[in-house]
Amino acid sequence: MRRNNTAGPLEDTVTVDGKKRIVVLASGRGSNFQAILDEVLTGSIRGTCIRLISDVAGCYALERAKSSRVPVTLVDYHSFPSKDAYEKALLFAMKECSPDLVVLAGYMRILGKDIVRSFHGKIMNIHPALLPSFPGLHAQRQAISYGVKVAGCTVHFVDEMMDTGPVILQKCVPVLPDDDEDSLSERILHEEHRCYPLAVKLFCEDHLKIEGRVVRVR
């Protein structure tokens, strides 16, 4: 595990000014990370991005973090002898931050059960489909192949299964007759950049309550 641009000890679960502590996990270009970070920096989200953790060396999300002076931790999946060893290192890095909220922003691995249980009700993910339809990879391709007329994105809390956690917010987009996977993905991504920051904002203002499978917005 390698750390770059690290901060000092993280002891409290809430920052001094009362803002929620947000840790972001990302594997790729980090456009949703940037959308959330922009709202944090303007003060619209009452939270602080205290760290970006990535499993991929050289991904563009790391550059976004450095540009905004967000501390970075690299837990390079390929530097570990096994998935179990990687998961233990990732869990250690996450616990070290004492986050109020963990945001998966294009994090391309399924979190292990120990991690999900350690942060129950505190991990969010966004998926480019209207769950429970089209879980897993290539959701936009699945939607076009199935012939649906409406697609979209879903922000949900993470549970121990893939894309099955309680739904927080959903946004719809039309599927146009001439859409391909790329054009539909771009239209959905535009809504992701609006939907995900809103879900984080609601969490940071204590407006979300999980009741079984239902997320109440208070």
Question: Distance between CA 103 and CA 120 in Å, rounded?
Answer: 13
Catalytic position from the list 120, 127, 156, 190: 127
Are the C-beta atoms of residues 4 and 72 closer than 8 Å to each other?
yes
Q: How many C-beta atoms lie closer than 10 Å to residue 47's C-beta?
A: 25
Contacts of 130 (CB under 8 A, 6+ apart): 150, 151, 152, 153, 154, 170, 172
- List of E strands, 55-203: 72-74, 101-104, 123-127, 150-157, 167-174
Three-class SS of residue 83? helix
CA 84 to mean position of chain CA atoms:
21
Is 190 a residue of the active site? no
Element (H, E) at 97: helix 83-97
> How many helices (H) and strands (E) would you count in the chain?
6, 10
Kindly list the catalytic residues.
Answer: 127
